[in-house]
A and B are shown apart, each in its own frame.
Chain A
Amino acid sequence: MDALVQLSDVTKRYEDDEDPALAHVTMDVGHGEPVAVMGPSGSGKSTLLNLIAGLDRPTSGTIRVGGQQVGTLSEASAARFRRRQVGIIFQFFNLLDDMTVADNVLLPAQLAGVPAARARARLDELLIALRIEKYRNAYPARLSGGERQRVAIARALVNRPPLLLADEPTGALDTVTGDEIGALLLELNASGQTLILVTHDPALAARYSKRVIRIVDGQIEDGAPAVTPA
């Protein structure tokens, strides 16, 4: 399987005199692969996700997504990279409270300059697929946690990114709703969507991914292949 995401000896330090949040991480993720990154709180999972998404820069090492060096991109290039290559789902949804569901979902398409008609068509498609079409004009504050996360997933997918990054996507949801969101992610993966799922829940990792990468104290723990088997 070709690697969509490749990390080579990646280290991230927030302060020079502190231990690194990530140390010498090497891993890759193949096209269409569902991978779970697991570890306790503060282990460096979210840092890893931020680096892959180009939201932050590594202190050393290289990160490639779709063949593109992410760690050295300028802020503007990183923004353009995120529009096209990455969809991000956050634990606490990170929806914009003052925008309707439709406006939240459309935002990445509008920033990317997607023609309005095409963006609208994609919006309709996603709202129906995620079963939130009736909330199109509602504000996030009026939605349940599960509904908000569906909106966040729709927003992450609106530009059809090859890579979906999910940071504890069920962490703020009750069990039933969490299962629904997990199933939704599996459906997406089944349709060929590459998925990197960050979680501290082993059951979730086992259920929704085919490979689990364990991180402890910023380092990948042995026992699970960090590199996709050939």
Chain B
Amino acid sequence: MRAVRTALRGGLAGRRAQALAIGLVLLATCAASTLAAGLLADANAPFDHAFSAQHGADAILTVNAQRVSATELAATARLAGVTAATGPFAEAIVTATATVPGGPGVVQFQALTLAGRSSPGGPVDDIVLSSGHWPTATGQIVVSRDLADQGPGISLSPGQVIMLTGEPGSPKLTVVGVATSATDTADGWVLPAQITALGPPQAEQMLYRFTSAGSGAAVSADVAAVRRALPAGTVLGAGSWLTVRAQEAQNIAPTVPFLLTFGVIGLGVSVLIVINVVSGAVVAGTRRIGVLKAVGFTPAQVMSVCVLQVAVPAVTGVILGTVIANLLAAPLLGQTSRVFVVSPQSIPPWVDLAVPLAMFALAGIAALVPASRAGRLSAVQAITTGRAPRPSHGYAAHRLLSRVRVLPRPVTIGLAGPFARPGRTLVTFAVILFGAVAVTFGVGLGTSLNRVAADLALPGAGQVQLGLPGQQGPPGQAPPEPPSVVAAQEADMTGALRAQPGTLHYVTESKGQLGVTDMAGTASVTAFGGDASWIGYPLIAGHWYGDGGAIVNTAFLNATGKQVGDSFTLTGDGRSATLTITGEVFRPGNSAVVLTNLSSVAALDPAARTPQWYYVALRPGVNPQGYVNAIRTRLPTGVSQQTSTAGPLLPAISALILILSLLLITVAGLGVLNTAVLMTRERVHDLGVFKAVGMTPGQVIAMVVTTVAATGLIAGMIAVPAGIALHHAILPLMGNAAQTGFPAGIYNVYNPPELVLLALAGLVIAVASALAPASWAAQARAATALRAE
């Protein structure tokens, strides 16, 4: 054992560069794999983490405060099957406005649920404050993160004031904190006294956790039991944690296909590189193995030395890699946590354990195979093996390439290099291919998502979207102002738009919920009071509607089984209207969306006759904010402004794509670096000969770089169609998960100059990675190289 220890110590000290390479490769591959696996694991269950940590409510019951006593509600906590309950919390539904600095002016909030709670904690639904503090007095409010996030750069934060416009006297509440409830129990929390100050509470919240709530049926049974324990008609509504979970899953689902893709690519690259590095290290040390055998080491001892020589840097690499993965994961998961409105996540412990162990086992197996082969070799064989490529490999390539006169001789020597070790060349090729595919896929996906973001922001709407005060509530909600006031406001707005010189043209928009025959539930119907084709709604198929036509989203087609060209019937207010589907519009989500002319649906939805928004196209050169300010001066009753955004999920996905692509490129680069180092070290004596006969350092660099450049170039050229195919295969999966198809422009993201650059990605990865060993070879003294074995 002592002999093994001595040999191991000597081996590690004498091959520091190799140990460093093994450690670095395992560090990078372990970091990439752990991060990808961790993200995947978390992508599957962020809500579950938050729900468990915050003791989310299995059911939220809204009860009629006038018909049930606190004692009766408290008794439900002791029902069989109820493990915890909290409440009652007085509840109020309010309408509010806030002026958000840096935002589009006054932001309107309709139907906000405020809950009166004296503290954020409790046996059920711990509310986690991400900033500020819990209200200490009336006049203060903690807002939910959902409410706080009003788009990029626009958010409610402590210190800002919300005015409850629908309440007598329009009381003002100062935001003192932003918080998250795992089960979205409210949009804002105030002290119970604040709810009372708004008037006698009509409704109260009771939050429950049950022994069994794993399925919809179980939750329904639990809720029914509570309902039976209360006076009849007391329960106004019940929400299930499963509904919130399904909504969160809907948000996460689009990320899973690409995370899986990157994960599989990362794992493939990792496996190849670890095998290449570790087996290369053992092969490079074969001569030393021969010497050890010559001085009396048994095959088992030789194997032990080989495997341990890999194991020591491998353990260091995987430990550091795991730490780095966790450090990288913190901001990434923090970002996704914010997106998913859950508390900050970390890589699950089982991933932190399983991935490093798997990588370490992989390194061990990769070392064991060549080590056992080396262990079986005779001492003489071992001493003479591994110093150079086996005879006859690559000779023909050298011979053929020596006849190529158009290329400098160092280049033709370099080009013949890969043929000396075909197995290693193949692995290097695969590693570069994986890396370049990741680049092509990542660039394409990033561009596609940018276009999705641009499309969702309605590029044609460009310019300005204005609304009458109090008309931007949820679909179907009655306007808070009397019709005469609204009509006057509408006339004022129209007059102002017409009078303002910067106006090119405008169109009104109103939204409502209407029934659709052949479909359960309702569709969100957007009705335009004129030509709205210029707003920029992207079409997946078909064309913009004309009279009697409509365009619908993918979710509508899926829900109704209709296709472009088919007809469907909208129902509302006792009437119906049949429209023809002329196109499929790009509006992701699982809500059925219909866009049509106001004239087609005005009879079905009287509320739709009142415009909610005015989309205004401006004349060239007109500043949008200056335009809005000018309109505001013309409208004494005020005006709302909104910006269409793609939401916070896309930037999070783009950041993930960037980080994962960079990690994969780094790992692929390390794979190439390893190949170049091994080739250079194996041919160090030949390098001495080359230098002795007059090869300059520049020529040495050209030769070494060329050794991997051709492999990189070919891999890159194959990677482009492969990456595009992957992009075209994964994007629809992401679309399916988000309940949408994509317009052609989302797929056709690769332009010819970009394709040329992407085809060169493999070459760039190869050349950049080979430059360091090439420089080392160029700087090595000829006499030193000639002395090397």
List residues of A whose CB falls within 8 A of some B CB: 50, 53, 55-57, 75-76, 78-80, 82-84, 88, 90, 94-100, 103, 106-108, 110-112, 116, 139, 141, 155, 159
Q: Which residue of B is nearest A74, CB measured? A: B697
Q: Roughly how many angstroms separate A106 CA and B398 CA in the complex, as a whole number?
A: 13
Contact present for A75 and B398 (CB under 8 Å): no
Contact present for B694 and A103 (CB under 8 Å): no
Contact present for B695 and A111 (CB under 8 Å): yes
B530-558 near A? 1/0 per residue, CB < 8 Å: 00000000000000000000000000000
Closest 4 CB pairs of A and B: A83-B694, A110-B409, A56-B783, A79-B696
Contact present for A56 and B782 (CB under 8 Å): yes
Q: What residues of chain A lie closer than 8 Å to B394, measured between beta carbons?
A: 98
Asked if B234 is at the interface (CB within 8 A of a chain A CB), the reply is no
Q: What distance in Å separates the Cβ of A153 from its nearest Cβ neighbour in chain B?
A: 13
Contact present for B399 and A100 (CB under 8 Å): yes
Q: Which residue of A is nearest B697, CB measured? A: A75
Q: Roughly how many angstroms separate A78 CA and B388 CA in the complex, as a whole number?
A: 27
28 A-B pairs with C-beta separation under 8 A: A53-B692, A56-B782, A56-B784, A76-B698, A78-B782, A79-B695, A79-B697, A80-B694, A80-B696, A82-B691, A83-B694, A84-B694, A88-B692, A88-B693, A94-B688, A95-B689, A96-B689, A97-B391, A98-B394, A99-B402, A100-B402, A107-B690, A107-B693, A111-B693, A111-B696, A111-B699, A116-B405, A141-B391
Contact present for A98 and B416 (CB under 8 Å): yes
Contact present for B420 and A98 (CB under 8 Å): yes
Q: What distance in Å separates the Cβ of B211 from its nearest Cβ neighbour in chain A?
A: 75
Q: Roughly how many angstroms separate A159 CA and B693 CA in the complex, as a whole number?
A: 10
Q: Which residue of B is nearest A141, CB measured? A: B391
Q: What distance in Å separates the Cβ of B422 from its nearest Cβ neighbour in chain A?
A: 13
Contact present for A98 and B389 (CB under 8 Å): yes
Q: Roughly how many angstroms separate A112 CA and B699 CA in the complex, as a whole number?
A: 11
Asked if B786 is at the interface (CB within 8 A of a chain A CB), the reply is yes
Q: What residues of chain A lie closer than 8 Å to B410, measured between beta carbons?
A: 111
Q: Roughly how many angstroms separate A155 CA and B690 CA in the complex, as a whole number?
A: 12
Q: What residues of chain B lie closer than 8 Å to A112, measured between beta carbons?
A: 694
Q: What residues of chain A lie closer than 8 Å to B779, measured between beta carbons?
A: 75
Q: Which residue of A is nearest B405, CB measured? A: A116
Q: What residues of chain B lie closer than 8 Å to A56, measured between beta carbons?
A: 781-784
9 additional A-B pairs beyond A98-B389, A103-B398, A107-B409, beta carbons within 8 Å, are A56-B781, A76-B698, A82-B691, A94-B685, A94-B786, A98-B420, A108-B694, A110-B409, A111-B695
Q: What distance in Å separates the Cβ of B184 from its nearest Cβ neighbour in chain A?
A: 69
Contact present for B778 and A96 (CB under 8 Å): no
Q: Roughly how many angstroms separate A55 CA and B693 CA in the complex, as a whole number?
A: 10
Contact present for A97 and B783 (CB under 8 Å): no
Q: Roughly how many angstroms separate A75 CA and B699 CA in the complex, as a whole number?
A: 11
Contact present for B694 and A55 (CB under 8 Å): no
Q: What residues of chain B lie closer than 8 Å to A111, measured between beta carbons?
A: 409-410, 690, 693-696, 699
Q: What residues of chain A lie closer than 8 Å to B398, measured between beta carbons?
A: 98-100, 103
Q: What distance in Å separates the Cβ of B540 from its nearest Cβ neighbour in chain A?
A: 58
Q: What residues of chain B lie closer than 8 Å to A100, measured between beta carbons?
A: 398-399, 402
Q: What distance in Å separates the Cβ of B577 from its nearest Cβ neighbour in chain A?
A: 81
Q: What residues of chain A lie closer than 8 Å to B697, measured between beta carbons?
A: 75-76, 79
Asked if B48 is at the interface (CB within 8 A of a chain A CB), the reply is no
List residues of B whose CB falls within 8 A of some A CB: 388-389, 391, 394-395, 398-399, 402, 405, 409-410, 416, 420, 685-686, 688-699, 778-779, 781-784, 786
Q: What residues of chain B lie closer than 8 Å to A139, measured between beta carbons?
A: 395
Q: What residues of chain A lie closer than 8 Å to B405, measured between beta carbons?
A: 116
Q: Which residue of B is nearest A108, CB measured? A: B693
Q: Roughly how many angstroms separate A100 CA and B400 CA in the complex, as a whole number?
A: 11
Q: Roughly how many angstroms separate A159 CA and B692 CA in the complex, as a whole number?
A: 13
Q: What residues of chain A lie closer than 8 Å to B778, measured between beta carbons?
A: 75
Q: Roughly how many angstroms separate A191 CA and B425 CA in the complex, as a whole number?
A: 48
Contact present for A155 and B783 (CB under 8 Å): no
The one of A55, A82, A84, A110 in contact with B781, judged by C-beta atoms closer than 8 angstroms, is A55
Q: Roughly how many angstroms separate A75 CA and B420 CA in the complex, as a whole number?
A: 28
Q: Looking at B391, B694, B695, B784, which has the most chain A CB atoms within 10 Å of its CB?
A: B694
Q: Roughly how many angstroms separate A88 CA and B395 CA in the complex, as a whole number?
A: 24
Contact present for A79 and B395 (CB under 8 Å): no
Q: What distance in Å separates the Cβ of A162 from its nearest Cβ neighbour in chain B?
A: 15
Q: Looking at B394, B416, B689, B697, which has the most chain A CB atoms within 10 Å of its CB?
A: B689
Contact present for A96 and B686 (CB under 8 Å): yes
Q: Roughly how many angstroms separate A116 CA and B391 CA in the complex, as a whole number?
A: 28
Q: Roughly how many angstroms separate A52 CA and B778 CA in the complex, as a whole number?
A: 20
Q: What residues of chain B lie closer than 8 Å to A110, measured between beta carbons?
A: 409
Contact present for A94 and B395 (CB under 8 Å): no
Contact present for B391 and A82 (CB under 8 Å): no
Q: Roughly how many angstroms separate A99 CA and B388 CA in the complex, as a whole number?
A: 14
Q: What distance in Å separates the Cβ of A3 from its nearest Cβ neighbour in chain B?
A: 23
Q: What distance in Å separates the Cβ of A33 from its nearest Cβ neighbour in chain B?
A: 23
Q: Roughly how many angstroms separate A75 CA and B416 CA in the complex, as a whole number?
A: 25
Q: Roughly how many angstroms separate A141 CA and B395 CA in the complex, as a whole number?
A: 12
Q: What residues of chain B lie closer than 8 Å to A88, measured between beta carbons?
A: 692-693
Q: Which residue of A is nearest B689, CB measured? A: A94
Q: Roughly how many angstroms separate A80 CA and B388 CA in the complex, as a whole number?
A: 27
Q: Roughly how many angstroms separate A78 CA and B395 CA in the complex, as a whole number?
A: 29
Contact present for A155 and B693 (CB under 8 Å): yes
Q: What residues of chain A lie closer than 8 Å to B420, measured between beta carbons?
A: 98
Q: What distance in Å separates the Cβ of B407 from its nearest Cβ neighbour in chain A?
A: 11
Q: What residues of chain A lie closer than 8 Å to B389, measured between beta carbons?
A: 98
Q: Roughly how many angstroms separate A113 CA and B346 CA in the complex, as a whole number?
A: 61
Q: What residues of chain B lie closer than 8 Å to A55, measured between beta carbons?
A: 691-692, 781-783, 786
Q: Roughly how many angstroms separate A96 CA and B696 CA in the complex, as a whole number?
A: 17
Q: What distance in Å separates the Cβ of B268 from its nearest Cβ neighbour in chain A?
A: 31
Q: Roughly how many angstroms separate A105 CA and B781 CA in the complex, as a whole number?
A: 22
Q: Which residue of B is nearest A156, CB measured? A: B693
Q: Which residue of B is nearest A47, CB measured? A: B783
Q: Roughly how many angstroms separate A126 CA and B691 CA in the complex, as a whole number?
A: 22
Q: What residues of chain B lie closer than 8 Å to A57, measured between beta carbons?
A: 781
Q: What residues of chain A lie closer than 8 Å to B388, measured between beta carbons?
A: 97
Q: Which residue of B is nearest A76, CB measured? A: B696
Q: What distance in Å separates the Cβ of A137 from its nearest Cβ neighbour in chain B?
A: 8
Q: Roughly how many angstroms separate A204 CA and B128 CA in the complex, as a whole number?
A: 92
Q: What distance in Å separates the Cβ of A32 from its nearest Cβ neighbour in chain B?
A: 23
Q: Roughly how many angstroms separate A95 CA and B784 CA in the complex, as a whole number?
A: 17
Q: Which residue of B is nearest A81, CB measured? A: B694
Q: Roughly how many angstroms separate A223 CA and B610 CA in the complex, as a whole number?
A: 118
Q: What distance in Å separates the Cβ of B254 from its nearest Cβ neighbour in chain A?
A: 52
Contact present for A75 and B783 (CB under 8 Å): no
Q: Roughly how many angstroms separate A107 CA and B698 CA in the complex, as a whole number?
A: 16
Q: What distance in Å separates the Cβ of B399 from its nearest Cβ neighbour in chain A?
A: 6
Q: Looking at B389, B394, B399, B416, which has the most chain A CB atoms within 10 Å of its CB?
A: B399
Q: Looking at B691, B692, B698, B783, which has the most chain A CB atoms within 10 Å of its CB?
A: B692
Q: What distance in Å separates the Cβ of B670 from its nearest Cβ neighbour in chain A?
A: 27
Q: What residues of chain B lie closer than 8 Å to A94, measured between beta carbons?
A: 685, 688-689, 692, 786
Q: Looking at B389, B409, B686, which has the most chain A CB atoms within 10 Å of its CB?
A: B409
Q: Roughly how many angstroms separate A50 CA and B688 CA in the complex, as a whole number?
A: 12
Q: What residues of chain A lie closer than 8 Å to B696, measured between beta carbons?
A: 75-76, 79-80, 111
Q: Which residue of B is nearest A107, CB measured? A: B693
Q: Roughly how many angstroms separate A98 CA and B691 CA in the complex, as a whole number?
A: 17
Q: Which residue of A is nearest B388, CB measured? A: A97
Q: Looking at B410, B688, B691, B699, which has the most chain A CB atoms within 10 Å of its CB?
A: B691
Q: Which residue of A is nearest B401, CB measured? A: A103
Q: What residues of chain B lie closer than 8 Å to A90, measured between beta carbons?
A: 692, 786
Q: Roughly how many angstroms separate A111 CA and B691 CA in the complex, as a whole number?
A: 10
Q: Roughly how many angstroms separate A116 CA and B402 CA in the complex, as a whole number?
A: 11
Q: What residues of chain B lie closer than 8 Å to A84, measured between beta carbons?
A: 694
Q: What distance in Å separates the Cβ of B782 from its nearest Cβ neighbour in chain A?
A: 4
Q: Roughly how many angstroms separate A94 CA and B788 CA in the complex, as a whole number?
A: 12
Contact present for B786 and A79 (CB under 8 Å): no
Q: What residues of chain A lie closer than 8 Å to B416, measured between beta carbons?
A: 98
Q: Roughly how many angstroms separate A90 CA and B685 CA in the complex, as a whole number?
A: 13
Q: What residues of chain B lie closer than 8 Å to A96, measured between beta carbons?
A: 686, 689
Q: What residues of chain B lie closer than 8 Å to A107, measured between beta carbons?
A: 409, 690, 693
Q: What distance in Å separates the Cβ of A92 from its nearest Cβ neighbour in chain B?
A: 10
